[in-house]
Every structure is written in structure tokens, then in C-alpha cells.
Structure 1
Amino acid sequence: MALVLVAWMLAGLLLAIQAWVSGALREEPVALSRATVIWLTWAGLWALLTPIVIALAARFPFERRRTLRAAVIHLAFGAALAALNLAAFSALAPYIGAISAGQTWLETFVRLVRSAFLLNVPVYGLIVGAAQALRLTRSARERELRALQLEAQLADARLLALRAQLQPHFLFNSLNTIAVLMREDVDAAERVLVLLSNLLRRALEISASQEVELGEELAFLEAYLGIEKARFPDRLTYSLDVDPKLLDVKVPSLILQPFVENAVRHGLATLGRAGRIEISATRFGDMLRLSVLDNGIGMDRMAGEGVGLSNTRSRLALLHGNRHSLVLANAPGGGLQASITIPIGSPEAR
């Protein structure tokens, strides 16, 4: 508010100087002190109205598909506030020397209607335009900041994926599985070797994009789960229930990986019975729900959220704001269900 007041006082002083110089050039001299009082009063009234105009600009912004509506609304409010400024200025006119010699108050009011009112409406438009420009600038900076934060989050996600897939014990277990299968089932050993190759290739060459097609995300998970199933053929089953029409929908890259890894780590590793992991994707209007369900130990015995889950929450918030949800809950039959709901479509397009 202080900055607004200072800006209007400077504008009032400049207009007073302009009126003084203009009067001198027309040989109709106006006292600088009188011009200063008049224009500072006018500017002060607009300083009081500016917060209202800024609030209206925020409430009715000029947006795609709503430009005409915003224009009509602001035209109405502009006329109303211009009239309010004019009424207040006219009421103060006798006390600030705004009534010229030989004129009545009514004559002065009529003169102000012709001049000041036609000035006040464009002033309202300038304030709305400035507020709109500031809003767009702020939004651009926020998008840039979100983009930088998302790049950092994605780098962390890729690092976590690489760490999970390239850690020595994972490679050792995978290679040991292949070695065992080579003596028992060469074809199965070859399949696991191909899965491991695909997994490592995807981990090393994963796209730098924030989003990938759901089909790519599922292919990465299938390679990971295929290797784990080869290690524990009788202790792990998994299924994917996804409408083929959803495979090209964009989702945050590696968004499901932390939940699948947790299902294996906290389910299969400590479960006395066979482990089951169910991955599904369902569309609800313009929203996509992704789900990872296991029959493991559930939330009560988990140590809490790891870095991967925390990273996932942050990425979802940065990508989709409040248009997302991430829910972790114990499944009715035991185990844990992780559900993510996000809008369908690129964040840049919304």
C-alpha cells in the first residue's frame, strides 16, 4: 500500500507540473501550489481505490476463453469507480480550489464530468493492465521456478532408480538367478538376461522429460518385476490392469517405481506366504487414477516414508498443484494400497 501511495503521489506531482506548464504556455497561468493540491487530491483518491481495482483484476483476470467476459465486467466496474472518484473529487472541490473564479459548483461538476470522468475510466484500465502484467510476470517466474525444482526432483528420481537397479546386491542376485537358471532352464535364463539388459538400458537412458507415456512406465516396471519373479517364481505374482487406450497418457516419469519397490521390499522380503502385486490405471472423466496394491505387511509395520515417496509427493505437487492426490492406506484384505490421482494432459497445456 505504501508503494502504491508513493507512486500515485509522484503521478500527482507530475500532472500538477504539466498543468502549470500547460497553463503558462496558453497564457492562462495556474498557480503551482493550486495545481499541486488539486492533482494530489485526485491522485490520493485513486490511491485509495487502487487496492479495490487490484482485487477486481485478480478476481476477473483476462484469460483464454474469458476475455470478453472480463472486458465487460471491468468496463462496468471502471465506470462505477470512475464515477466514485468523480463524486469524491467534486465534494472536495470547494476546499481545494478546484472551482474556477466565476463558476458555480454545478458548472464545475459538469466540467469535471466532461474531463475527469473521461480520464478516470482509462486510469482504471491502466491499473487493471498493470495488475495483469504483474500477475503474468509472477506466473512466469513461478513456472520457471517450478521447472527448475522439477528438474532437480527428476534428477533425484533418476538417481534413486539407478541406485535401486545398479546396486551391487541387485546385480549379484540377478546374475546369480541367471547362473542357476542356466543349469535348469536355458530359455528362462535368456529371458531374465534380456529383462536385466532392458532394465539397465532403460535406467541409463531414461528420458530427461518430466513425463513419459504410461506404457513406458509400465514397461520399466514389468522388467523390474520380471526379474524379481524369476528369483522367486513361487513367492511373487503380479498383474497389470490397464485399459490400452490409456497407454499413451502422459504420467510423471518413474512415478510408480517407489511403490513397486516398497511392495517387493516390505511385502515379499518379509512375507511368509506368496506375495502379490496388482498395478492398475483407471480413467475418471479428465482424471487418471494409478494404483499399486500388495498383500504385504501394510503401513503399521513400515518404518515410514522413504526418500522415494517423499520425492514423489514433491514432484506431484510441483507438477499438478492441488489437482492431485496421493493416498497410502492399508488394504482391506491386508497389505498396502498406494493410489495416485492426476489430471490427464500435460501441465503446460492446462
Structure 2
Amino acid sequence: MDTFHLGQTGDPSADVDAAWREPFAVAAPDALSRRREVALVLGFWLLVSPMWALSIYASAQFGRHPYSVLVAVGLGLSDAGCWAALSLATLVAARMRPPERSRRGRAVLFHLAVALLLVALRQVLLHSLIWLADGRPEARLYVIRGVLGIPSDLVVYLVLLLAAYGYEYFRRYRERLLASVALEHQLTRTQLRMLKMQLQPHFLFNTLHAISTLVHQDADRAEHMIASLSDLLRASLTHQQTQEVPLSEELATLQPYLDIEKTRLGDRLSVEMAVGPDTLDAVVPHLLLQPLVENAIRHGIAPRRRPGRVEVSAVRSDGRLHLVVSDDGRGITGPLRPGGIGLASTQARLEQLYGEAHGFHVRSAPGEGTRIEITLPYRAAFPTPGAPA
């Protein structure tokens, strides 16, 4: 049996620090953003350097090696450059080791090693320059000064690290918020188009044609089809501003469509529902199942004369919701391609809503039917306090 996969499957985190970790899932900044960050850091330390130069100049006047203004400015700029480089390195380290609770111990060891390395390099460079400015006296005193300066520099590194985490969290949270707003606008603009894709003209045409035929043959069945079509359109439009609904509502929306197809195809179509009671409160995309069931009926059952079966199942396992739409129809005779409107639109919606946390797989073989499997993170529409996910 041939198989192809649309989207990817991943396990969503259930850690209590998920809200902290999620913003770090956003992509790293682009080249322009990195240049702005470098300019901001350099600008800040450049503004600080005159104060350091003044402090170095003033303190040197009371020592054995007074500096000229030029030397003091050079030392101030050098120290500012060291801190600028250390600040940028701290930002890179923060991005390499985000504060995930499950890996917090490794992050502490990583930052401790980075801090000791960077601080030691700064002390070596700074006191080497001071030693040269002082006329190269005995180096022992400068080594002692450098060692004594490490603890205070470690405190500064900690402050810089916290600032880097705060900045990175804000940046990625803002990017995620902007992406969410953009997605909301995009989904709003495409709602009518999605509705047209899900309730395709051929389906409406076939339904109306069947109704017109039944009017003269079986008025009761024709009236039933009209009522079902009305219910389906009403349900579709009622939730047009809603992207996700409980599975129970999704199944209720699917039922009028199934009634129409059963009326149209008669004994040639049978439908089985295998939905676990613990899945009915699971949140799913609105109008997720209808285009998939329509695809199964249109391509698998309707083209042949003998009866066929469509099955819809839902199972909850390990914090995941597993949905399956299968049929025992003709199957896909040619190469498996995600080119159908129903499959392509479903794939795009799941990708936008869940990213890598979803799975979408299609299996089919000629004469053996088609099976569409969807996995989503389980989220209850009305969560019970203290209930397991």
C-alpha cells in the first residue's frame, strides 16, 4: 500500500514552563535585526566609555603611574569594547541555551563555563593594557587585580544574561504575536474561499439536481434533502468566525452532509462512526472532517455501482487526538499527490494552526480504498480543573 505524508508529527510539551518556552520556538533574527542589535550594543557601551575614561584618568592621578587624557580615553574605549563583545556573546549564549525547565541544569553549567571564559578573557585583556600603560612594571600585581575582578564581572555577566533573556523573550513573543495577528487576518480574508473549497460547486449542483429529480418521485426524500442542505449551510455560516470547535460540534456539522449523501446514493453508501466518548470535547478545526468525507465519497464510493462504506473514527491517546477518515472504495490509481482541493486546504490549515505539532498522512492503494489519518494535540474545549491532558 502506497503512503505519503503531509505535515509532520511532533509531541507537544506539557511542561509547566511551556508558556516560557514557546516564544523561543520562533526563528532566530535575520541579518538586518542582528545588525541592529550590534549597533544598539556598541552605541550603549560607547556612551558609557567617557565615564570610564574619566574615572580611569582621575584615579591614575593619585597613583604611581598617572595617565595622559589620551591613554585614559584609550583604556576607557578598550574596556567598553570588551563589555560590548561580552554583551553580544551573552546574547548568543542566551539563544543557544533558552531557559527550559527540563534542561535547566545543563543551561546553568553552560552559562557558568561561558561566563568564566569571557570574564577571564576580559580581565587578561584589560590588565594587559593597563600593564602596558603603566610602563610594564612587575606583572604580579596586575594578575592579582585581574583575579580579584572576576567575581564582580561574573555578577555583571549574570545581569547581562537576564537582560538578554528578557530581550529575547520579548522579541520572540512580539514576533509570535505579529504572526498570530497576520494569520488571523489571512484566515478572515480566506474564509469564504475556504467555504467554497469545502462545499464545492459540484456538490451543490449534484444535491440540487437530486432534489429536482426526487420532487417528482419522492417528495418526502426531496424535502429531507432540502432540510439537510439548509442545516449544513447554516452550520457552516454560524461558525465562519470560529477556527476551532469541539469535536462533538464538528460531528454535528458533518451529519447533515452525510444525510444528503445517504439520500442521494441510497443503499450504495453506509457510514460508520467510531468516536470515543473521551474525544467529544477535543478541540478541532471547524469543517475539518466534511471535505475529507466528501473526498472519500466523491472519489471512492460514488464512481462505482456496488455499495461502499465510509468510516470516521476518533481516539484519544497519550495527549493526542487521532482522527481517521477511511473508505473501501476504488482507492487512488495514479501517483499519490496532495493536489486535491480538500487535502491541500486541510494540510494548509493544519500547518498554520498547529505547525509541527500535527500529523497528516494519506494511505491508498487501487481497489483497497483510502485512509486519511490526522493527529492533533489534545485540548479540551471545556477543561476540567485538575483533569489530565
| Counterpart code for 2:211 | L
Structure 1 residues 173 and 227, CA, compared in 2 at 3 Å: closer, same or farther?
Answer: same
Deviation at 1:251, TM superposition (A): 0.9
Deviation at 1:264, TM superposition (A): 1.7
Distance 2:47 2:67 in 1: 15
Deviation at 1:327, TM superposition (A): 0.8
Q: Which has the higher contact order (CA 8 A, sep 6+)?
A: 2
Unaligned runs of 5+ in 1: none
Match of 1:320 in 2: 354
Query: Which of residues 167, 176, 199 in structure 1 aligns to 2:232?
Result: 199
**For 1:222-233, what aligned pairs fall within 5 Å after superposition?**
222-233=255-266
Distance 1:33 1:117 in 2: 29
1:286 correspondence with 2:323:
no
Deviation at 1:229, TM superposition (A): 0.6
* Identity score, percent: 31
Structure 1 residues 194 and 104, CA, compared in 2 at 3 Å: closer, same or farther?
Answer: same
| Counterpart code for 2:212 | N
Q: Contact between 2:99 and 2:107, CA under 8 Å: does it hold in 1?
A: yes
- Render the CA deviation track for 1:135-155: whole Å, top value 9, x for unaligned: 432333234314422552465
**For 1:208-287, what aligned pairs fall within 5 Å after superposition?**
208-287=241-320
Single out whichever of 329-338 and 63-72 deviates more from structure 2. Answer: 63-72
- Render the CA deviation track for 1:264-292: whole Å, top value 9, x for unaligned: 22123312321211111112201111111
Distance 1:13 1:262 in 2: 64
Secondary structure class of the residue paired with 1:248: coil
Deviation at 1:207, TM superposition (A): 4.3
| Counterpart code for 1:87 | V
Query: Which of residues 94, 103, 108 in structure 2 aligns to 1:57?
Result: 94
Match of 1:169 in 2: 205
Distance 1:214 1:166 in 2: 23
Distance 1:235 1:291 in 2: 21
Q: Contact between 1:299 and 1:336, CA under 8 Å: does it hold in 2?
A: yes
Single out whichever of 280-289 and 12-21 deviates more from structure 2. Answer: 12-21
Distance 1:135 1:15 in 2: 26
Secondary structure class of the residue paired with 1:309: helix
Secondary structure class of the residue paired with 1:340: strand
Taking only aligned residues, the RMSD between alpha carbons, in angstroms, comes to: 3.7
Secondary structure class of the residue paired with 1:232: helix
Match of 1:344 in 2: 378
Structure 1 residues 153 and 40, CA, compared in 2 at 3 Å: closer, same or farther?
Answer: same
Match of 1:38 in 2: 75
1:137 correspondence with 2:165:
no
Deviation at 1:344, TM superposition (A): 1.1
**For 1:2-81, what aligned pairs fall within 5 Å after superposition?**
6-7=39-40, 9-22=42-55, 31-50=68-87, 52-62=89-99, 74=111, 77-81=114-118
Distance 1:54 1:74 in 2: 11
Deviation at 1:308, TM superposition (A): 3.2
Deviation at 1:52, TM superposition (A): 4.1
- Render the CA deviation track for 1:163-216: whole Å, top value 9, x for unaligned: 654845145135336525644xx3x55543432221121122124122111111
Single out whichever of 79-88 and 262-271 deviates more from structure 2. Answer: 79-88
Distance 2:337 2:54 in 1: 77
Unaligned runs of 5+ in 2: 1-33, 384-388
1:179 correspondence with 2:215:
yes
Deviation at 1:117, TM superposition (A): 4.5
Structure 1 residues 198 and 30, CA, compared in 2 at 3 Å: closer, same or farther?
Answer: farther
| Counterpart code for 2:91 | I
**For 1:106-145, what aligned pairs fall within 5 Å after superposition?**
106-115=140-149, 117-119=151-153, 121-145=155-179
Single out whichever of 322-331 and 133-142 deviates more from structure 2. Answer: 133-142
Q: Contact between 1:178 and 1:189, CA under 8 Å: does it hold in 2?
A: yes
- Render the CA deviation track for 1:48-101: whole Å, top value 9, x for unaligned: 445542332123323578879866864664355323422343344423x2x4x8
**Paired residues, number:** 343
